[in-house]
Structure 1
Amino acid sequence: MSALEDLNAAGADRVVQALRACNAAPRFAAELTAGRPYPDADALVTRAEQVARALPWEEVALALAAHPRIGDRPEGSSAEAEASRREQSAVSGADDATRAALVEGNRAYEERFGHVFLIRAAGRSPEEILAELRRRLDADEEAERAEATEQLAQISALRVRELVTDGAAEVGR
């Protein structure tokens, strides 16, 4: 049985638990679970992006609270911690100056916006991440909320795709 077939067939509680590791917003997992069965992984990923982009700010804020700071090493063995470690692997190779700038930028961002800086780190260099952090520090609140929501949607899509391509044991059992 494929991972997608497992997700389509598993009990709702198991599916919600697996999807909450992709995006901690309760509405995200509930809507994707209610939309089963999905004909293929692309349909599921497309729906995940749609749901994430449509979340009200209160739900986005809940999801943001579950994300570690960029550059921090997520603790624990949860699926979300493991995903964050994979996604942020490039940051671990950053030089000392870039790491220090990320720490300072995270502090400034959190003071300004009241939540962690969220970016799809997968496929980005530490320098690209730092440049985006600096750019977004100049955004107004509304623009930054939209950007954080978009980044959450991209991260959610990556994680959902991983779930149904290599996560069969996590959903169906």
Structure 2
Amino acid sequence: MNLEHFNTAPPDELRPVLAACCDVPSWVAAILAARPYGDLETLTKVADEAARALTDAEVAQALAAHPRIGDRAEGRTTEAAWSRKEQSGVGDDPATRAALTAGNHAYEERFGRVFLICATGLTADQMLTNLRARLTNDPATEAAVVHEELRKIALLRLTKVIP
């Protein structure tokens, strides 16, 4: 999709596309409300500001759309396809997958939510190292890290919508 189409498309056409980037209605609404955009930089700035403004409850809502690191997202949705590509660095090594599974469980037990990381370009070892390091965070620090990772994912995915 190009910027001109993004600026002129009906909101109902764009809502699911934007929700695939970040499944939070206020984020989607903020981006739609600021149309038309003169350039991608302005669109990215609005998306970035809207992501930074998400509440803890909205971050939690968005996490529901993200699979665990190491789990292969199922289905034909845009989110599932993006997730499979983003997590391509996980690989198929059984020992690494087992370590990620154990790490995910420890993380969920400690923080009560799925471990989220902007996985694009990371190896399985890098993801696992990050997961283990983040298990030492206090809850407030980790909430801020999760918020930042979600923001990075949303902006990265937005660049897939409008390259």
Q: TM-score, length-normalised on structure 1?
A: 0.91
1:21-36 equivalences under 5 Å are 21-36=20-35
Over aligned residues, Cα RMSD in angstroms? 1.1
The alignment covers a number of residue pairs equal to: 163
Provide the C-alpha distance between the structure 2 equivalents of 1:117 and 1:38, rounded to a whole number of angstroms.
33
Matches of 1:57 and 1:67 in 2, distance apart? Answer: 16
Structure 2 CA distance, aligned partners of 1:69 and 1:36?
A: 33
1:145 is matched with which residue? 143
Shift of 1:94: 4.7
Identity score, percent: 50
- After TM superposition, list the pairs within 5 Å mapping 1:10-159 onto structure 2: 10-91=9-90, 93-159=91-157
Moved over 2 A (4+): none
Structure 1 stretches lacking a partner, 5+ long: 166-173
Aligned partner letter, 1:50: E
Once the 2 structures are TM-superposed, how far is the Cα of residue 6 of structure 1 from its aligned partner? Answer: 1.0
2:30 partner letter: E
**In the aligned structure 2, how far is the partner of 1:66 from the partner of 1:14?**
19
Q: Give the match for residue 169 of structure 1.
A: none
1:168 matched residue in structure 2: none
Alignment check: 8 A CA contact 2:30 2:46 kept: no
Cα distance between partner residues in 1 of 2:145 and 2:68: 16
Mapped to 2, the partners of 1:46 and 1:85 lie a distance apart of 27
Q: Which segments of 5 or more consecutive residues in structure 2 lack a partner in the other structure?
A: none
Residues 94 and 129 of structure 1, relative CA distance in 2, 3 Å threshold: farther
1:56-84 per-residue CA deviation (whole Å, 9 max, x = no partner) reads 00001000011000110001111111110
